[in-house]
Amino acid sequence: MTNKTRQIFSELLCLTSILISLVVFPLILLRQNILTDTVDISFYDTYFIVEGTTLLFPLFLVVVFFVYFTKEYLKSFRRSLPNWILLVAGGTLIITITLLIKELAQFSTGSWTIYPPLSALPDHPSESMQDPATRGITTVLTIIQCLILTMTLFAVYRWAQQKSRSIHTPEAGKLNRFNI
């Protein structure tokens, strides 16, 4: 087996083990099959019912992002394929969180009876009328999104540093920039 084939096989094995663990751990710990059951999330007076398969994709992205960030941080971001997996997971996670925030923003007003009737209210709801639970969730998701974006940019920066160092090493046939 060549080195590249071994690395691809290793990364596929790592991704598969993360996916299997995300399916097995809820089955063992919560006695709930995430592939067939729905997941009920109760947050204050808001009750969300989500299909397990819908929840599996974002959880997979979060776990893959943090596992690969930790792996590559320990390896100083030297390897290309894991860095690409990290960048794709980070970008997809940022887009997924953005779409989730957009969906939650639609529910930011409502879920209770408002007096006077809605026809007497202005066209745009004020800050005080927004649901505090949904507003809190979107704030936390925005903070997590900024953290993931910062970590992704850090990974890109360190990967670029490693690439520039490997170009200027004597093993690559180039002059070392420190030994002129």
More confident residue, 65 or 136: 65
Q: Does residue 105 have a pLDDT over 50?
A: yes
Q: Write the pLDDT tens digit of every residue in 49-97.
A: 777 777 888 889 999 999 999 999 999 898 999 999 999 999 999 999 9
* Residue 134 confidence (pLDDT) above 90: no
pLDDT of residue 108: 57
* pLDDT for position 179: 46
Long-range contact pairs involving 127-135 (C-beta distance under 8 Å, separation at least 24): 131/46, 131/107, 133/43, 133/44, 133/45, 133/46, 134/46, 134/104, 134/105, 134/107, 134/108, 135/108
**Residue 28 and residue 32: Cα distance in Å, rounded?**
8
pLDDT of 153-166, one tens digit each? 999 999 999 888 87
- The highest-confidence range among 40-54, 86-100, 133-147, 160-174, by mean pLDDT, is 86-100
